[in-house]
Amino acid sequence: MKKSWLAVGIILLFVGTCIIPSVPAEQASDKSIITVDDEPGDADYTSIREAVNASNPGDTIEVYSGTYPEEGILLSKDNISLLGIAHELGGGNDTGKPFIQGKGFESVMLIEASHILVSNCTIENPETDCSTFTCGIFIERHPGYEQHHITIADCTITTSAHTGIYVSYTRDNVRICGNHIRQCFLDGITVLSYSPLSSFTITGNVVADCRDSGISFTGADHQNVSGNRIRNCSIGIEFGATNTTVYGNDIDSCARGIRCGGGGNTFAQNNFRNYSLIGFVFFRSVIQPGKNTWIGNYWDTWKGRGPKVILGFIVVEISIPEWLYLMFFVPWVECDWHPAAEPYDIPA
């Protein structure tokens, strides 16, 4: 009898060791997906900011359809993905991309980390009377740390008080792809980076009705700006760089299609339509290398014979020590020797 009870005890002990650890293991497991929905009770959080603050490196934050009156959402942990989901998680009748509605006093979203993905969100940040530097998405340089591997994709950004997407001093692998940006007080997209190792790709974006430039970038050479559609901005694409490729962009109704501050760049198979006759101005210092190359672009002012002449200036700088600095603009021309007879089909 004692042996029977001993056998039963051993069996129960074995079963217990298989079952008991499963409960605390489930409670202690790290959650890799965090959900956000503006309908209380449907998701982990109703606030994007609270979800971001609660996240850990490697997490994915899924934000479902709804309206989120928030700004100052800070992504400061590496390896975070913030994905807009264009339908409800539970109850309610919201549809489309989640709508993040700023008030214009802060940037709606700030990124101070690496390996970040933000996609499929609608962001609005209206202009206010305050002088605060505010953007839709601001990729901000963190003191002592240069961010890298950041992607902003398929977002809609409207009425930004300053710039739709502003990238400040990032180092490597920044991708801005497939976004729709309009009605920004200054630029649609601005990239500012002076590191020689910086690399960024700006492609497939639609930018319209911005007061200054559709796309502006400074400092980083050997970059790729392609497949963008820019409408009704003062300047289509403005940059100060060398050895950069501007390919397959559609620039329409911008007073100045290109404003280029460097040499050795290539402009190929772009459409230039409804621009001012004096709009194509490039600035190239005599100390900068090489002429720009124009290959097969479409110009709606081209007469159909001969090359297309692009007006510009070469900048001559003279510094007299201690008291005088002079800058002269010498009229210059560059040519597209084989312009396209028909505009290219560049999808939105």
**Would you list the domain boundaries of the chain?**
32-220
pLDDT in tens, 151-183: 999 999 998 778 999 998 776 788 999 999 999
Pick from 62, 109, 114: nearest CA to 84: 62
Q: Copy the structure tokens of residue 301.
A: 């002012």
pTM: 0.85
Q: Any idea how long the chain is? A: 348
pLDDT in tens, 18-69: 333 333 333 334 659 999 999 999 999 999 999 999 999 999 999 999 999 9
Assess contact for 231 and 209: CB atoms under 8 A.
yes
Query: Which of 112-126, 130-144, 246-260, 326-340 has the least mean pLDDT?
Result: 130-144
Pick from 66, 81, 155: nearest CA to 111: 81
Pick from 260, 247, 256: nearest CA to 346: 247
Q: Tokens 């007299």 map to which residue?
A: 320
Q: What are phi and psi of 9, to 5 degrees?
A: -65, -40
Pick from 243, 244, 333: nearest CA to 289: 243
Domain 32-220 classification at class level? mainly beta
